[in-house]
Amino acid sequence: PASQLSETQKVYLRDELRAFASLSLSPLPDYQVLSLSVDEAFRDKILVLVYDMTSQPAQLTGFASSIWLDIPGVPQRVLHIGLAVVAPGARYGGLTYEMNGRILLHTLMNVYPGGHWITNLSSAPNVLGKFGDFTAQPYPSPFCVTASWAVSIPSETHLQIARWIDANARARMHISPVSVFDERTFVFKDLNVGTAFTKDIDDDACQHRNEGRNVFYKRLLRKHHADGVLQVGWVDPQRCAKLVLSPDFRALRDVAHNLKAML
């Protein structure tokens, strides 16, 4: 567990992650596991590290870090998907999808076998479009039109989680203090203007392969604004099992990588 690392080990790992992330994120944010505060970097985190073991020494290829949120009135802790960074040469191979999947396998096998609430916050249609692949009751979601396990309006729990994040988790989730949250659409307007996370919603690299999902989320996001959609859903063990067995969940089987997970 990351909480059991020595202070020296924490500093070394944090510095390694910051150096790696600087290849992809500019400016480098003081956020999550990249925080200049070592205590904040590893507080309440689940961290997956992927190393290429064919290199000597082994080279970090990607990492994903999720955060546990303690929200009053919600029985279980809520997991926020958080931050994922992949080396430029390893993108488009499904590694981010699988790293997040491994985090969910950990939570279902070791923490909440019956499932738990989860959130995601993104401006990229391809990222937003994957949320419904492993969740039930995702909101907002294009699946509400065709799937019985989706919802067309947020429940009281969806709203409770979203309102708590709006009021209490802005710094932890890199939400601008001036961003305005729209409870109807679950959109944070002007989420992170001028940061490394600002996305062009029409960028080819940000498109989901399912055009219907792109259309749905682009309708929520304003062009030339750094808006972000907050997604809230329930991690369903059966849907996660289908994810693990799907052809998409193969990145770590196709490459010579070693996976390390820390809570």
Residue pLDDT, tens place only, 113-156: 999 999 999 988 888 988 888 888 999 988 766 667 678 899 99
Q: Is the pLDDT reported for residue 161 higher than 50?
A: yes
Q: Is the pLDDT reported for residue 66 higher than 70?
A: yes
Identify the pLDDT of residue 146. 63
Domain residue limits at 244: 2-262
For 226-263, the pLDDT digits (tens) are 899 999 999 988 888 777 777 666 654 444 344 444 44
Q: How confident is the model at residue 203 (pLDDT cuts 50, 70, 90)?
A: confident
Identify the pLDDT of residue 239. 81
Identify the pLDDT of residue 258. 45
How many whole angstroms separate alpha carbon 120 and alpha carbon 100? 11
Q: How confident is the model at residue 188 (pLDDT cuts 50, 70, 90)?
A: very high
Query: How many other C-beta atoms are found inside a 10 Å radius of the C-beta of residue 165?
Result: 23
Q: Is the pLDDT reported for residue 168 higher than 70?
A: yes
Q: Which of 140, 121, 117 is nearest to 189 (CA)?
A: 121
Identify the pLDDT of residue 257. 43
* Strand 135-139 relative to strand 180-182, pairing: unpaired
Identify the pLDDT of residue 127. 86
Share of the chain above pLDDT 70, in %: 84
Q: What is the dihedral of CA 126, 132, 133, 134, to 10 degrees?
A: 130
Mean pLDDT, the chain, integer: 84
Verdict on whether the full-model pTM lies above 0.95: no
How many whole angstroms separate alpha carbon 257 and alpha carbon 52? 5
* Strand 228-235 relative to strand 135-139, pairing: antiparallel
How many whole angstroms separate alpha carbon 155 and alpha carbon 138? 10
What would the mean pLDDT of 193-218 be, rounded to a whole number?
Answer: 75
Q: Is the pLDDT reported for residue 20 higher than 70?
A: yes
Lowest mean pLDDT among 101-105, 192-196, 219-223, 250-254: 250-254
Name the domain count of the chain.
Answer: 1
How many whole angstroms separate alpha carbon 35 and alpha carbon 14? 8
Lowest mean pLDDT among 163-167, 180-184, 204-208, 258-262: 258-262
Identify the pLDDT of residue 261. 43
What would the mean pLDDT of 18-33 be, rounded to a whole number?
Answer: 90
